[in-house]
Amino acid sequence: MVAFRLALARRDAARDESCPHAAPATAEEATKDSLCRYLDIPAFRGTPLRSAVVLMQAAGGMASWWVLATWTADRLAASSSIGPCVCLALRAALAVLWAGLNLRSFMIFHDCGHGSFFQGSKRMRMANWLTLHVSAVMCATPPDWNVGHQLHHANVGNLGQDDYDWGETVFHTSSQFVAMPAWKQQLWRVLRHPLPFFSLAGVLTWYFKMRLPFELRPGRKAAYRFTDKLLSALIVFGVRYPAAHACGIFSLVLLGDYLAMTMGVLLFHWQHVYDHGYVRGSAEWKLREAAMHGSSLAVVPTWLKYFTLGIEYHHIHHFRMRIPGYMLREVHEGAPSGAFDDVTVLDAKGMWRSLHLQVWDEATQRYATFDEVLKRSEAAKAA
């Protein structure tokens, strides 16, 4: 396991062409050097105290929510004077809050997987390992998820490899889709329609894919650990949900978990799938371009930033994984003028468009819908 992680880290370092060691020969290379020097400022690695505060806020928030939800459920059950609309509104608000707290705990778990939450000395690395497993319980995610996520960083948008999926919410290129028989095209139209896909993707990922006692594609690089799957499943289905049921808040926890899973998938999709995007063959694929052009800056409402913990600044995260999420906003806002001019800013309109993008169109070098690809293909045949 350790050898695999070291080999992966060495490969990532070897493929990172974003920070040339030689003197810059062009203005573009000079800009790269300047950005690298900026992102490598030690202060951007966070501090143990700040990381500890972020962790305590998340753990304390979830514990406080559990107490508040149990108390509210008891009062609602005992009172006959509270109308059904008020009851529904209170339950919905509690479920949404639980979803947000789950999302924040997942971001901590995610940073621990990158070794960025606590970093530096051996003691800090041990604290990071412990936090990884504590936050894994909080967000109901097996710790071995992070190994596959490292492969995502090393391969996102790279069509010419089979170590990992080049895209995790878009599965086909235009040539692959056009070559399908009509019945299969129709099937994928249904499966990848945004309503059923994004409604079910989170559930299928967290409740099934992450719990399977085998790899779906065993020939790929991975670090599957049955103990991680088993312990996580026992905690979720043997402790988390039975405890919620005993406290009378099972429906709130279940709905909150579902909303958190769904929001996680949506965020992941918005971070990488938008009109232009970045998908290339191995010969053309570069880590810096994948970070700057293949990872978006999502416009998140201020009230939601507490829960997303900076992951919306995804371009910086892909460029420098060792910067913890709670530092990303500060890094982005303090960057040299023009440093991130090429980054796609995804607003509400862009997010809506992104939900409908289903395929990578090789001809236009853009993400597109199935209908757009078929229309272009039919026009080309008729010409």
Please tell me the predicted confidence (pLDDT) of residue 31: 54
Window from 7-11, 110-114, 142-146, 225-229 with minimum mean pLDDT: 7-11
Window from 193-197, 212-216, 232-236, 266-270 with minimum mean pLDDT: 212-216
Q: Please state, in angstroms and rounded to a whole number, the distance separating the CA atoms of residues 320 and 72.
A: 43
pLDDT tens across 274-298, in order?
A: 998 999 998 999 988 898 899 999 9
Please tell me the predicted confidence (pLDDT) of residue 339: 87
Q: What is the mean pLDDT of residues 320-325?
A: 95
Residue 24 pLDDT exceeds 60: no
pLDDT tens across 338-381, in order?
A: 889 889 999 999 999 999 999 999 999 999 999 999 998 888 88
Residue 222 banded pLDDT, cuts 50, 70, 90:
low
Read off the amino acid at residue 110: H
DSSP assignment of 110-142 equals: HHHHTT-SS-SSHHHHHHHHHHHHHHHHHHT--
Q: Please state, in angstroms and rounded to a whole number, the distance separating the CA atoms of residues 239 and 226.
A: 19
Q: What is the mean pLDDT of residues 220-236?
A: 79
Residue 30 pLDDT exceeds 80: no
Higher per-residue confidence, 375 vs 212:
375
**Kind of pairing between the strands at 345-346 and 359-361:** unpaired
Q: What is the mean pLDDT of residues 179-208?
A: 95
Q: Are 342 and 327 in contact (CB under 8 A)?
A: no
CB atoms within 10 A of CB 322: 15
Structure tokens at 380: 């080309």
Question: What is the rounded end-to-end Cα distance, in angstroms, of the chain?
Answer: 55
CA distances (Å), origin 1, targets 153, 221, 222, 226: 18, 11, 10, 13
Q: Please state, in angstroms and rounded to a whole number, the distance separating the CA atoms of residues 312 and 299.
A: 7
Residue 23 pLDDT exceeds 90: no
Residue 299 banded pLDDT, cuts 50, 70, 90:
very high
Q: Please state, in angstroms and rounded to a whole number, the distance separating the CA atoms of residues 302 and 201.
A: 26
Please tell me the predicted confidence (pLDDT) of residue 28: 53
Q: Please state, in angstroms and rounded to a whole number, the distance separating the CA atoms of residues 343 and 278.
A: 11
Sign of the dihedral through C-alpha 157, 161, 167, 170:
positive
Residue 335 pLDDT exceeds 50: yes
Q: What is the mean pLDDT of residues 17-26?
A: 44
Please tell me the predicted confidence (pLDDT) of residue 157: 94
User: Could you give the percent of the chain with pLDDT greater than 90?
Assistant: 70
- Residue 45 DSSP class: G
Domain boundaries, the chain: 43-382
DSSP assignment of 285-352 equals: --HHHHHHHHS-EE---HHHHHHHTTTTBHHHHHH-TTS-HHHHHHHHHTSPTTTTTTSPEE-HHHHH
pLDDT tens across 45-70, in order?
A: 999 999 999 999 999 999 999 999 99
Residue 301 pLDDT exceeds 80: yes
Residue 315 banded pLDDT, cuts 50, 70, 90:
very high
Phi–psi pair at 368, nearest 5 degrees: -150, 175
